[in-house]
Structure 1
Amino acid sequence: MSGHRTWREVAVAAVALPLVITLAVLAFAWPAGRLAPRDLPVGIVGTGTASQHAVEGLVHKKPGAFDFHLYPDQQAARSAIRNRDVYGAFVISSHKITVLQASAASTSVAQLLGQVGQQLADRATQQAAERAATGMHSSAKTPKTPKTSKTPKTPTVDAKAVDVVPVATEDPRGVVFSSAVFPLTICAILIGAFVAMAGGLRRPWQRVLTLLVACAVSGLGVYTVAQGFLGALPHDHVATWAVLSLVLISISATAAGLIRLVGPPGLGLSAVLMVFVGNPFSGATSAPEMLPKGVDYVGQWLPPGAGAGLLRDTTYFDGNNGAGHLAVLALWSVCGLTAILFGHRVKGEARGTKTSAPASGELLPALPGPGAASPIRRHAPAHAHAHRHDGDD
C-alpha cells in the first residue's frame, strides 16, 4: 500500500507540478509576448485627402490593427477620448499631424499612437518629396525654364503629440497603477480563505460582515499607499476607494464562496481563476485591445480585468464607460456572497455536529454517586437475548 502511495507522490512531483508551472508561465508570458493592436479604437479628424491617404496607409500596413472613427473637428475627438470611446485620434493636415492621446487610458497605447503618428508624418514627407522630384524632372524637360529659377524646397510634415488625459505626474509611466492589480488579487484571495475557514465565525452573516469590513479597510490601506504615498490615483478619492474595495470584495467573496461550497479545493480553484487567468488576461499593463483575440473578452469578464478598467474609468475619466465593468464586479460579488450565506464546508458542517438523541427506552440522568443504585435502564440488543436463551437451553 505504501509503495502505491510513493509512486503517486512521485507522479505528482514529476508530472503534475511541472505541468502546472508550465501552464502558469504560458498564461503570463503568452499575452505579454503577443502585444499588438487589434481593432484598437482610434479617431480620424476630417475627411480630406490627407486623412484618406493616412487611413489607407494604416489599413494596408497594419490590417485589422485599428478601428477608425471619423470626427468633424478636434474638439469632437477630444470629447470622444474623455468619454472612453477611443484611445486617441489623428488630426491630419497637409503640413502637420497632431496625435491626440491619453496616457491615463494606457501609456503603452499612447506610445504606440505617437510612433504611428511619426510614421505617418515621415510617409507624408516622403510622398511630398517624390511629388517635388517629379515636378522638377518635368520642368527640366521644358526648354523655357529660366536659368535663375531656384530648386524648390521639399515640404516636410511634422508630428506633434498632445496628451488629452495625462497620467499622474508622480507616476508618469503608469507602473504604480498597473502593478497594484496583482497584489490586490492575491490579498483578496487570502481574505476570502480566512473568512471561509475561520472557526470563530460560525454564522454565515458573521462571515459576510467580516469579509465586507476587511475589504473596505484593505481598500482604504491600498488607496493610502497608492495615492497618499505614491500619488498614482489623484482624482475622485472616495469613488476610487470604493472601487478598490469592490474589487477586493468581488475576488474575496468568490474565493470564500467556492471554499464554502466545495471545501479546500475551492481555494485552488479561485487561485487558478483569478491569479493565473484573471491577472494575465486583464490588460492592466497595456489595454484589452492589445491582447490576443478572445483573451481580451475573457479578461474583462473576470474581476481583475473589470477592476482595472473601472479603476481607470473612475480615477481619470469621471466614470465614463464604467457601467459594464461595474456590472461584472457586482455580479461576482453577489454570487460569492450568496455562496457564503447558503454554502457549507465539507462533511462536518454538511452533516451537522449535533449529538445524537438517546435510543428509545433509554434514560440518561446524571451519574449516581458511589453505592447508589443506577437508574439507567437500557434495552439489551436482540442478539444478546438470543445468546442468553441458548445458554439456558
Structure 2
Amino acid sequence: MGHSAPAPTNSHRKLVIVVLGLAALITTMLCAFALPSLHSGPHRIPIGVTGTQQAAQDLQRGLDGDTWDVDVYASTSELQAAVEGQDVVGGLALQPGKLDVYTATAGAPSATGAVTALGDTLAADRNVAATVHDLVPFTQDDPRGSGLTAALMPMIFGGIFPALILGGVFPGHRGLRTRLAGAVLFSLVAGVAVAAVLQFGTHSITGDYWLNAFGVVLGMTAMSTTLLGLQALLGMGGFAFGGALMMLLGNPLSGLATGPHWLPSGWATLGQLLPPGAAGSLLRTNAFFDSATAGLPALVLTGWIVFGVALALIADRRGRRSPQAFSESVVVRQSTQADPQPAPAVSGR
C-alpha cells in the first residue's frame, strides 16, 4: 500500500511566503528602476517667456503642452527672479535681433539641456543669436553636481544603519527608547559631517553651511525614525518594507540627478513625497537657491518623523501591556529585592 504524502508543515508555508515575497520585491525593484527611466524625459517642464506681449503669447501658445508648461513674464528681470526662485527651471527672453536663454543647472540638470536646445531651435528659426545665461550653476569644483547626487546614498544608509545596528545592540521593548534617541543623535552627528564633506571637502555645494547641515540631518532623521518605528511595530518585516521603500522606490524616484520634471508626473510626485526625494530637494534648495522652496520638502520630512515616532510610541505602549514586558519588570523588581545584605559579623573579645 502506498503512503500518503505528509501535509505541508508550517516551515513549508513560511518558505513559500518568503519566496513569493522576495519575488514580489525583485519585481517591484525592476519596476521602480526601469519604468521611470524608460519614460523619462521632459514632462510639463515649467519655463517662462518674456518679450513683446504678442510675441510672448504666441510663443506660449506654441509651446504649452505635454513637454512645456509656459508662463509669460512682464520683463526680463521678473523672468530671472523666477528662475532664481525655482518658480521655473528656465526661461526665454525674446529681444530684437537676439534671444536670451536663462537656465539654472543646479536646479534641474536634464531640463537645463532641454531648455538650451529649445532656445537654439527658436533662435535658428528666427535667424538670431541665442545667448545662454546660467543663473544658478553648480560649483566650479563640481560643475556636474556629482557630489550632490552622491549625497543621497549616505542619507539613505544613514537611515537604514541606525535601525539595523541599534536594534541589535539595544533589542526588545526595553531598548526601544534608547534606539530612538540613538537614531536622532546619529542623524545629528552624521548629517553635520556629510554636509561638511560636501561643502568644505568636495566643494560640491554652496550657501549657508548650518542650513545645509540642517537639511541633511532632517532627511536622515526622517528615514531612521520611520524605519525604527516600522521595525518596532512590525518586526523585521516592517524594517524590510521600510528599507525597500527608501532604497528601491525613494532612490530612483528622488530626481536628484536629473530634477523631478524629468520623471513622469505621477512618479515624480510620489518621489517628492518619499523621504529621499524630499531630503534631496531640501538640500538642493538650501545649497543653491537660498531656501526658496524649502517649505514643502521640510514639511514632508517632518511628517515622516512624526509618523515614525508615532509608530514607535504605539509599539512602546503595546510592549508595556504585553505579558513578556510585565514578566521582565517583575524579574527586575525581584532582583533588586533579592540577596539581602548579610548581617555584620560580631567580633569577639
Instruction: Give the structure-1-normalised TM-score.
Output: 0.75
Greater shift, 211-220 or 196-205, is seen at 196-205
Tell me the amino acid that sits aligned with residue 297 of structure 2.
H
Question: Aligned pairs, how many?
Answer: 326
8 Å Cα contact 1:98/1:160 also seen in 2: yes
Query: Which residue matches 2:98?
Result: 96
Residue matched to 1:249:
221
The 3 A distance-change label for structure 1 pair 116 and 271 is same
Q: Does 1:264 align with 2:264?
A: no
Structure 1 residues 263 and 57: CA distance shift in structure 2, 3 A: same
Structure 2: how far apart are the matches of 1:327 and 1:348? 31
Q: Please give the alpha-carbon distance, in whole angstroms, between the structure 1 residues aligned to 2:328 and 2:118.
A: 74
Rounded Cα–Cα distance in structure 1 between residues aligned with 2:171 and 2:231? 16
Bigger mean CA deviation after superposition, 192-201 or 220-229: 192-201
Q: Determine the structure 2 residue equivalent to 1:158.
A: 129
Q: CA deviation at 1:320?
A: 0.8
Name segments (4+ residues, structure 1) moved above 6 Å: 345-349
| Range with bigger deviation, 284-293 or 195-204 | 195-204
Instruction: Provide the secondary structure at the position in 2 that maps to 1:169.
Output: coil
Q: Is the 8 A contact 1:263 1:345 kept in 2?
A: no
SS of residue in 1 equivalent to 2:100: strand
Max Rg structure: 1
Match of 1:371 in 2: none
**Whole-Å separation in 2 of the counterparts to 1:14 and 1:255:** 23
Whether 1:274 and 2:246 are equivalent positions in the alignment is: yes
Q: Is the 8 A contact 1:243 1:311 kept in 2?
A: yes
In the alignment, which residue of structure 2 is the partner of 1:174? 145
Query: Secondary structure at the residue paired with 2:322?
Result: helix
How far apart in 1 are the matches of 2:91 and 2:178?
A: 51
Note the alpha carbon deviations across 1:93-129, whole angstroms, 9 max, x for none: 34211110001102111111111111111222xxxxx
Measure how far apart 1:197 and its partner are: 4.4
1:286 Cα deviation after fit: 1.3
| Aligned counterpart, 1:17 | 22
Query: Per-residue deviation at 1:17?
Result: 3.4
Retained in 2: the 8 A contact 1:82–1:317?
A: yes
Pick one of 198, 207, 212 that aligns with 2:169. Answer: 198
Instruction: Report 1:118-129 matches (<5 A).
Output: 118-124=120-126
In 1, Cα distance between equivalents of 2:303 and 2:72: 35
Which whole-Å CA distance do the structure 2 matches of 1:100 and 1:73 have between them? Answer: 13
For structure 2, which runs of at least 5 residues remain unmatched after alignment? 1-5, 331-337, 340-349
AA at the equivalent of 1:160: T
State the 1:189 CA deviation. 1.4
| CA–CA separation in structure 2 for the residues paired with 1:190 and 1:345 | 25
Compute the displacement of 1:9 (Å): 7.7
| Equivalent residue number for residue 213 of structure 1 | 185
Deviations 1:4-52 (A, max 9, x none): 5786587568755344323212211221222222221110012444434
Higher helix share: 2
What SS does the corresponding residue of 1:224 show, helix, strand or coil?
helix
CA, structure 1 residues 170+198, in 2 after alignment: closer, same or farther (shift >3 Å)? same
Structure 1's 45 and 270: CA in aligned 2 closer, same or farther, altered over 3 A? same
Structure 2 partner of 1:73: 75
- TM-score by length of structure 2 reads 0.84
In structure 2, the CA distance between the partners of 1:91 and 1:54, relative to structure 1 (3 Å rule), is: same
Shift of 1:182: 2.7
Aligned residue among 195, 205, 215 for 1:233: 205
Corresponding position: 1:43 with 2:48: yes
- Relative to structure 1, the CA distance from residue 349 to residue 90 in structure 2 (aligned partners, 3 Å threshold; closer, same or farther) is same
The answer for unaligned runs of 5 or more in structure 1 is 125-155, 358-364, 367-393
Deviation at 1:249, TM superposition (A): 0.1
Give the distance between the partners of 2:304 and 2:162, measured in 1 at CA: 16
Identity of aligned residues (%): 28
2:60 partner letter: V
Q: Given residue 176 of structure 1, which amino acid in structure 2 is its aligned partner? A: G
3-state secondary structure, aligned to 1:343: helix
The answer to whether the 8 Å contact 2:138/2:205 transfers is: no
